[in-house]
Amino acid sequence: DADVTQTPRNRITKTGKRIMLECSQTKGHDRMYWYRQDPGLGLRLIYYSFDVKDINKGEISDGYSVSRQAQAKFSLSLESAIPNQTALYFCATSAKDKEQAFFGQGTRLTVV
């Protein structure tokens, strides 16, 4: 089983719809992240959380919101999806004071 699991893996949604991407981890890490990957732009940080009560905006948080339901769960919501939110989304985790981030397999989101 994957240590960082994202659901769904693929999703097509219509403009204006609300959509939630979910992430769960079994690594026991406190820190969780949502990144967005676009061709030619690399990965950009959307939101991050250092513990259950901590939520922080990243580089590109406009149009997104998150919820940290438990240490192991971190979800990303698009309240009203728009086509330029079409991208590959990655959840990641890391432990405090550790060097390695662990990524899920990604969710490919298409907004039509």
Partner 1 sequence: QQQVKQSPQSLIVQKGGIPIINCAYENTAFDYFPWYQQFPGKGPALLIAIRPDVSEKKEGRFTISFNKSAKQFSLHIMDSQPGDSATYFCAASRGGTASKLTFGTGTRLQVTL
User: Which residues make up the interface to partner 1 (CB under 8 A)?
Assistant: 4, 31, 33, 35, 40-45, 48, 50, 58-59, 90, 92, 94, 96-101, 103-106
Pairing outcome for strands 42-51 and 54-57: antiparallel
Shortest distance, position 69 Cβ to partner 1, whole Å: 21
**Structure-block tokens of residue 35:** 């990144």
User: Which of 18/98 has CB closer to partner 1?
Assistant: 98
The smaller minimum CB distance to partner 1, of residues 73 and 103, is found at 103
Least Å distance between CB 19 and partner 1? Answer: 20
Q: With respect to partner 1, which residue has the nearer C-beta, 84 or 100?
A: 100
- C-alpha closest to that of 23 among 54, 40, 2: 2
Q: Smallest gap, in angstroms, from Cβ of residue 96 to partner 1?
A: 7
